[in-house]
Each structure stands twice: as structure tokens, then as C-alpha cells.
């Protein structure tokens, strides 16, 4: 059975092309920004989660905060809003070609960069995340982001 969102146009700007992932919070689609003729990712919160005002507030705050990040190794948030018909929240992000990291890690075939990244992050107790991956940005070396 096809997903009901595939083929629809969201907010008059984004045509939903394919379902590419889903989880407990919602679904992720490959979409097309019609005016810019650009492939994007559209993340939609499950409609039943709209009943939780705390969750809705968190989703909106995270969308705004993520949209302010500007770094070559962080996916750019382009837009966010609500569907007119049922109020479903969505975030529009840049689409990046690549392998699904979950599948790569399950196969045990990690690149030297992902291995160094994991090692670097585990050695430094203050490291929150490791953001630099091959194919994104100008360098393939890992970068640990530490607080403060």
C-alpha cells in the first residue's frame, strides 16, 4: 500500500515523492521544492502526537534552533510549518546523497574516518558529538564538538 502523502503537495511548495524512513515520531520523505527545482527532505510529525503540547513546543523550538546552525557538516533546515488540513508539523531540510549510516554500521564496514570519530568521541568525556563525515565539507577528518 502506497503512503497517502506520496504525490501530494505540501504548503503549495513541496511535492512529496517517496517515503524514505519512519519511526516513532513520524515519517521522512524525499520531496521536491517546486519553485527552486531542488530535492529536499520533508520530516513530518505523526498527527496523533499533536495532542501533546510539550512535544509540539519542543518540535518547534528544535526546528528554529536547527535552522540557525550554519556549518558544512550539519544538515541545513530550510523551512518548517503546519499542514493546513490537519495541523501536522513538518520540517524541510537539505537532501544529501549518501549511504544510510545505520546500514553501514550494521555491516561492520566503517571507514577510517568513522572509526577515528567514534574513538575520538569515546576518549573525550566532554565530546558531545562527531559531525565530520567523508563527502561533507572540505575535509574528511573528524571533528568533536565539545561544550563551552
Of residues 120 and 65, more confidence is placed in 65
Q: In the prediction, which pLDDT does 109 show?
A: 64
Q: In the prediction, which pLDDT does 16 show?
A: 97
Of residues 44 and 110, more confidence is placed in 44
Contact yes or no for 17/30 (Cβ under 8 A): yes
Full set of structural domains in the chain with CATH: 9-94 (3.30.200.20), 101-145 (no CATH)
Of residues 135 and 40, more confidence is placed in 40
Q: In the prediction, which pLDDT does 32 show?
A: 98
Average pLDDT for residues 103-121, to the nearest whole number?
57
Kindly report, residue by residue over 21-57, the tens digit of the pLDDT.
998 889 999 999 999 999 999 999 998 899 999 999 9
Confidence band, pLDDT 50/70/90 cuts, at residue 113: low
Average pLDDT for residues 104-132, to the nearest whole number?
49
Cα–chain center distance at 112 = 24
Instruction: Give 27's strand partners.
Output: 22, 44
Number of neighbouring beta carbons within 10 Å of residue 20: 14
The contacts of residue 44 (CB under 8 Å, 6+ apart) are: 5, 26, 27, 28, 29, 83, 88, 89, 90
pTM of the predicted structure, to 2 decimals: 0.68
Amino acid at each position: 500500500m502506497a503512503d497517502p502523502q506520496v504525490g501530494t503537495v505540501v504548503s503549495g511548495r513541496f511535492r512529496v515523492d517517496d517515503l524514505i524512513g519512519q519511526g516513532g515520531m513520524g515519517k521522512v520523505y524525499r520531496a521536491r521544492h517546486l519553485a527552486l527545482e531542488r530535492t529536499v527532505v520533508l520530516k513530518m510529525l505523526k498527527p496523533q502526537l499533536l495532542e501533546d503540547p510539550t512535544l509540539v513546543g519542543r518540535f518547534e523550538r528544535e526546528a528554529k534552533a536547527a535552522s540557525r546552525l550554519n556549518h558544512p557538516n550539519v544538515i541545513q533546515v530550510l523551512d518548517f510549518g503546519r499542514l493546513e488540513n490537519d495541523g501536522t508539523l513538518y520540517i524541510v531540510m537539505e537532501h544529501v546523497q549518501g549511504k544510510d549510516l545505520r546500514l553501514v554500521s550494521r555491516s561492520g564496514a566503517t571507514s577510517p574516518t568513522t572509526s577515528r570519530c567514534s574513538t575520538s568521541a569515546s576518549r573525550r568525556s566532554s565530546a558531545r558529538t562527531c559531525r565530520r563525515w567523508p563527502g561533507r565539507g572540505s575535509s574528511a577528518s573528524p571533528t568533536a564538538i565539545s561544550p563551552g
